[in-house]
Amino acid sequence: MEWRDEGIILGTRRHGETSAILEVMTRGHGRHLGLVRGGRSRRMQPVLQAGNRVDLVWRARLDEHLGTFQAEALELNAAGLFDSACAVYGLQLLAAHLRLLPERDPHLGLYDALGLLIGHLAEPASAAELVVRFELLLLDELGFGLDLTECAATGRRDELVYVSPKSGRAVSREAGAPWGDRLLALPAFIRPGSGLRGDLAGIEDAFRLTGFFFARHVYEPRGIAEPEARGGFLSSLRRAIQPAAAIPGDTAA
């Protein structure tokens, strides 16, 4: 068995004295692991860093085997990420999110979103918006997507300011007013086609929204905790965007 693809490195771990197990998100083969012989060598260590984009050749006798990778650098992004706490935690969070998916299950949209995010993780405001959108996309890929296009009660497509915690559907201001304290806030910047940027309050609401549905549909049913990296990422956003403000969840980890 053999294939060639490009991928973005999510992480590595030692294997024996000289080799490494490489974990990558690939364009056409999903999240995939493989052995890199000599992966701990002085030549390969700078290549096998999280965030780098690499050209990969995977080989194995049988498809279900771990197999081996040959990896060549395409973009060495890691060095530009290590100086930013937001970028380091953000990359760890994205990797944790992708591990929620079945191994070797292709998700081209998530791969492309990951590639876009890598270039903006060191920019806190942009990273915050993009990670929220990545979480919404991941919820959709997992089968728990939110419907934010029209009001669940009236069908209206304007004045959408709430999300129902039961259905995951948007609710208009008028329809949701009597139950506003029971509904989740829908930040304007994540409404489809809004073209708006997120301010700090909107970012807070957005992470609260996605965090609620991850907890309900993913973490609790699987008996797992929210990734510690999410708390670290949110805390780093708080410090970078507005030192005196808090983002929900930044002390949870």
In which residue ranges of the chain is CATH 2.40.50.140 found? 2-78
- 83 versus 30: the higher-pLDDT residue is 30
Mark 56-77 as b/e (b = at least 16 C-beta within 10 Å): bebeeeeeeeebebebebeeeb
Q: How many angstroms separate the CA atoms of 57 and 17, rounded?
A: 22
> What's this model's pTM, rounded to 2 decimal places?
0.91
pLDDT of residue 249: 55
- pLDDT tens-digit map of 153-165: 999 999 999 999 9
Residue 166's Cβ-count burial label (10 Å; 0-12, 13-18, 19+) is exposed
- Kindly report, residue by residue over 56-93, the tens digit of the pLDDT: 999 999 999 999 999 999 999 998 998 899 999 999 99
User: Cβ(172)–Cβ(149) under 8 Å?
Assistant: no
CA distances, 98 to each of 5, 9, 240 (Å): 18, 12, 25
Q: Which two tokens stand for residue 146?
A: 């939110």
- The tokens for 134 are 């990545």
Token pair 């706490």 is found at 85
The predicted-structure confidence for 104-140, as pLDDT tens digits, reads as follows: 999 999 999 999 999 999 999 999 999 999 999 999 9
**Structure confidence at residue 227 (pLDDT):** 97
- Per-residue pLDDT band at 195 (split at 50, 70, 90): confident
> Is it true that domain 2-78 has CATH number 2.40.50.140?
yes
Report CA dihedral (213, 144, 136, 182) to the nearest 10 degrees. Answer: -40
Contact 203, 132 (CB under 8 A): yes
What is the token pair recorded at 195? 């073209």
Q: Residue 188: is its pLDDT beyond 70?
A: yes
Instruction: Indicate the average pLDDT of the chain.
Output: 93
Q: How many CB atoms lie within 10 A of CB 1?
A: 11
User: For position 199, what pLDDT does the model report?
Assistant: 85
pLDDT above 90 covers a percentage of the chain that reads 86
- Cβ density class 193-210: b for 16+ within 10 Å, e for less: eeeeebebebbbbbbebb
CA distance 104 to 82: 28
Query: What pLDDT shows up at residue 163?
Result: 98
pLDDT of residue 194: 79
For residue 178, is pLDDT > 90?
A: yes
Q: What is the pLDDT of residue 245?
A: 46
What percent of the chain has a predicted confidence (pLDDT) above 70?
96
Residue 10 has pLDDT above 50, yes or no: yes
